[in-house]
């Protein structure tokens, strides 16, 4: 089995790369893909960059160039549920692109026109393995639910409240749903995992300098645990 791992932060990729046997380094679309072995599994690890287009291009390269059979994406998101706090982790059950708006033609907000699905479902087995990995992490609560994505950095509390309520979403970020769309179109199982950096709904936040090392540590721990059981 060949597994693609998409990291949001270069530090995540660097830590994993230092523990893997790199057999090939490939540069494509201004991204560097590290292909090799980690914990006895064949993996391709890459940082995709910010935004839906970067994430989609990265995902398609993983599928076309490297033939990955599963994709795991880790990164950071803002919380949209009042019970979620910085340091907690959300595993996406499904994802929606909240900035797709063709409501003028009668589509619901978030529906991509002429697609046969509203949301992009994560693989149940990968979701379960991610959830089990989170249970082993101290001082972090795990949640499973919808994540919404858009090419917008949203700081307005009212907009965040709207997204949480309208989509019944747990977290908001900028890449996951586009990864989900590409995986859906290619019939590749995937999961999206997000460390929560802040939550305007309950007014909680943490300094990024304090949060970043924790998010990286947790992401690496989750990925390693998942690889050990896949």
Confidence of residue 213 (pLDDT cuts 50, 70, 90): confident
Residue 58: predicted pLDDT: 98
Q: What distances in angstroms separate CA 129 from CA 32, 58, 74, 122, 133, one per listed residue?
A: 27, 23, 14, 12, 6
Residue 14: predicted pLDDT: 87
Summarised one tens digit per residue, pLDDT across range 124-163 is 999 999 999 999 998 889 999 999 999 999 989 999 999 9
Please name which of 190, 186, 218, 139 lies closest in space to residue 3, comparing C-alpha atoms: 190
Percent of the chain whose predicted confidence (pLDDT) is above 90: 83
Do 153 and 200 form a contact (C-beta atoms < 8 A)? no
Confirm whether 12 is a catalytic residue.
Answer: yes
CB count in 10 Å sphere of residue 209 = 7
Residue 189 has pLDDT above 80, yes or no: yes
Residue 177: predicted pLDDT: 98
Residue 215: predicted pLDDT: 87
State the pTM of this model: 0.96
Residue 50 has pLDDT above 90, yes or no: yes
Residue 207: predicted pLDDT: 78
Residue 203 has pLDDT above 90, yes or no: no
Confidence of residue 118 (pLDDT cuts 50, 70, 90): very high
Residue 12 has pLDDT above 80, yes or no: no
Residue 115 has pLDDT above 90, yes or no: yes
Residue 26: predicted pLDDT: 98
Confidence of residue 216 (pLDDT cuts 50, 70, 90): confident
Which among 138, 198, 207, 225 is annotated as catalytic? Answer: 198
Which among 12, 88, 119, 175 is annotated as catalytic? Answer: 12
What is the rounded average pLDDT for all residues in the chain? 94
Residue 178: predicted pLDDT: 98
Dihedral angle sign, alpha carbons of residues 194, 196, 200, 202: positive
Residue 37: predicted pLDDT: 97
* Domains of the chain, earliest start first: 2-223 (3.40.50.1580)
């Amino acid at each position: 089995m060949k597994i693609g791992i998409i990291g949001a932060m270069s530090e995540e990729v660097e830590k994993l790369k230092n523990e893997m046997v790199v057999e090939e380094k490939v540069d494509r679309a201004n991204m560097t893909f590290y292909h090799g072995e980690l914990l006895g599994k064949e993996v391709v690890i890459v940082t995709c960059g910010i935004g839906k287009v970067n994430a989609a291009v990265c995902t398609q390269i993983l599928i076309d160039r490297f033939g990955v059979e599963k994709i795991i994406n880790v990164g950071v998101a803002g919380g949209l549920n009042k019970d979620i706090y910085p340091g907690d982790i959300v595993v996406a059950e499904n994802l929606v692109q909240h900035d797709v708006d063709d409501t003028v033609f009668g589509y619901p907000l978030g529906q991509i026109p002429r697609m046969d699905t509203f949301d992009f479902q994560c693989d149940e087995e990968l979701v379960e393995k991610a959830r089990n990995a989170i249970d082993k992490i101290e001082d972090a609560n795990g949640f499973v639910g919808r994540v919404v994505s858009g090419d917008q950095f949203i700081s307005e509390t009212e907009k965040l409240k709207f997204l949480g309520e309208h989509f019944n979403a747990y977290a908001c970020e900028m890449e996951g749903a586009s990864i989900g769309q590409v995986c859906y179109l290619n019939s590749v199982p995937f999961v999206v995992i997000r460390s929560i950096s802040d939550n305007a709904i309950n007014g909680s936040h943490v300094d990024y300098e304090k949060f970043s090392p924790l998010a990286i540590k947790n992401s690496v721990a989750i990925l390693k645990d998942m690889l050990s059981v896949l």
